């Protein structure tokens, strides 16, 4: 499947190619994934997902991390469902009853619109130091990520992504790391704002509970984060791609 880069969270800003190729995992791919995916190791599993995308298309390395995070989700989505719709079941936090809903890629999954201006980066002051921020591509991110894969000093992938937002890491790695990890007060607010701008671009999905209403008689709704949807995507594969009677007939 070719995805138009204009449909990615970055809006395709600055890309030198019009589309990116993402394939659903085949049976062999699913089995290998199951055997080799390093569950419980957040850095290893992120690397594993990145490599799976790069196998589909080498140009992933030139894509922004914000887009790649979405493409990891997309690859799992197209693996579990051939029409990019997805059956979810959640429990209503108000009445406890299960809510079943089919969500569809085209109508339920939206990004917060990105402003082209923020894609040029910014000047920030962190712990008294001036830095230029960058919008990291996978290539940029790997320069930072490789260091943490090797020494495992930080194992929080969001923290490593935050460090990767600051340019000039090659020359100032120690200072950048200590300014990010040791940030206090308004510096924390600044880093949270940057994370929000450059990574968390998917809008949560709002699902209405068919069983209960609030004091005003309105349907209560539940917010579902898109990232939480494909937690165990192999189980989801069976739910979302069931076989029907035409697939197997016993003699
Ligand atoms: Zn309810």
Q: Decide: helix, strand or coil at residue 218.
A: coil
CB atoms within 10 A of CB 87: 14
CA of 223 to the centre of ligand 1 (A): 12
Distance (angstroms) between ligand 1 centre and the Cα of 104 equals 22
CA 93 – ligand 1 centroid, Å: 7
Domain range summary for the chain, segments of one domain joined by +: 2-111+227-240, 116-198
C-alpha span between 5 and 247 (Å, rounded): 36
Pair 71, 60: CB distance under 8 Å? yes
Give the distance (Å) from ligand 1 centre to CA of residue 203.
22
Token duo for residue 127? 């712990």
User: Which segments within 111-198 are labelled E, that is strand?
Assistant: 123-126, 129-132
pLDDT at residue 231, rounded to an integer: 67
**Residue whose entry in the numeric block shows the structure tokens 């799976």:** 52
Taking the centre of ligand 1 as the mean of its atom positions, its distance from the CA of residue 207, in whole angstroms, is: 10
Angle between helices 42-56 and 65-80 in degrees, nearest 10: 80
Both tokens of 231, joined, read 């937690």
Question: Which protein residues have a CB closer than 5 Å to ligand 1 (ion)?
Answer: 92, 94-95, 209, 211-212
DSSP 42: H
pLDDT value at residue 88: 86
Instruction: State the residue for tokens 């997309």.
Output: 74
Residue 66 and residue 137 in contact, taking contact as beta carbons nearer than 8 Å: no
Give the CA-trace dihedral at 109, 141, 60, 43, to 10 degrees. -70
How many whole angstroms from 172 Cα to the centroid of ligand 1? Answer: 52
The pTM score is 0.90
Q: What is the CA(213)–ligand 1 centre distance, in A?
A: 7
Closest of 134, 132, 141, 140 to residue 119, by C-alpha: 134
Distances (CA, A) of 176 to 144, 180, 181, 192, 244: 11, 6, 8, 16, 55
Neighbours of 127 (CB within 10 A): 14
Task: Output the pLDDT for position 247.
Answer: 87
Tens-digit pLDDT profile for the chain (251 aa)? 999 999 999 999 999 999 999 999 999 999 999 899 998 999 999 999 999 999 999 999 999 999 999 999 899 989 988 888 888 888 999 999 999 989 898 899 888 888 889 999 999 999 999 999 999 999 999 999 999 999 999 999 999 999 999 999 999 999 999 999 999 999 999 999 999 999 988 888 999 999 999 999 999 999 888 777 766 777 778 888 888 888 888 89
* Distance (Å) from CA 101 to ligand 1 centroid: 13
């Amino acid at each position: 499947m070719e995805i138009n880069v204009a449909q990615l969270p970055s809006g395709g800003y600055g890309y030198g190619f019009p589309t990116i190729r993402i394939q659903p995992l085949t049976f062999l791919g699913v089995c290998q994934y199951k055997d080799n995916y390093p569950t419980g190791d957040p850095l290893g599993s992120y690397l594993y997902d990145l490599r799976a995308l790069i196998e589909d298309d080498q140009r992933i390395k030139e894509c922004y991390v914000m887009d790649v995070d979405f493409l990891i989700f997309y690859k799992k989505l197209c693996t579990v469902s051939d029409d990019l719709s997805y059956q979810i079941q959640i429990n209503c936090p108000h009445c406890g009853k299960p809510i079943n809903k089919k969500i569809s890629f085209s109508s339920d999954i939206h990004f917060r619109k990105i402003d082209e201006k923020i894609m040029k980066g910014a000047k920030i002051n962190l712990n008294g130091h001036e830095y230029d921020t960058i919008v990291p591509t996978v290539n940029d991110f790997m320069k930072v990520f490789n260091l943490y894969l090797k020494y495992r000093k930080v194992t929080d992938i969001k923290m490593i992504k935050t460090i990767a937002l600051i340019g000039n890491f090659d020359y100032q790695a120690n200072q950048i790391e200590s300014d990010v990890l040791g940030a206090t007060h308004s510096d924390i607010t600044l880093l949270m704002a940057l994370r929000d701008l450059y990574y968390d671009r998917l809008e949560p999905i709002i699902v209405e509970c068919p069983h209960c209403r609030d004091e005003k008689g309105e349907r209560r709704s539940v917010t579902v984060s898109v990232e939480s949807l494909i937690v165990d995507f192999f189980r989801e594969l069976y739910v979302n791609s069931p076989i029907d009677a035409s697939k197997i007939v016993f003699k």
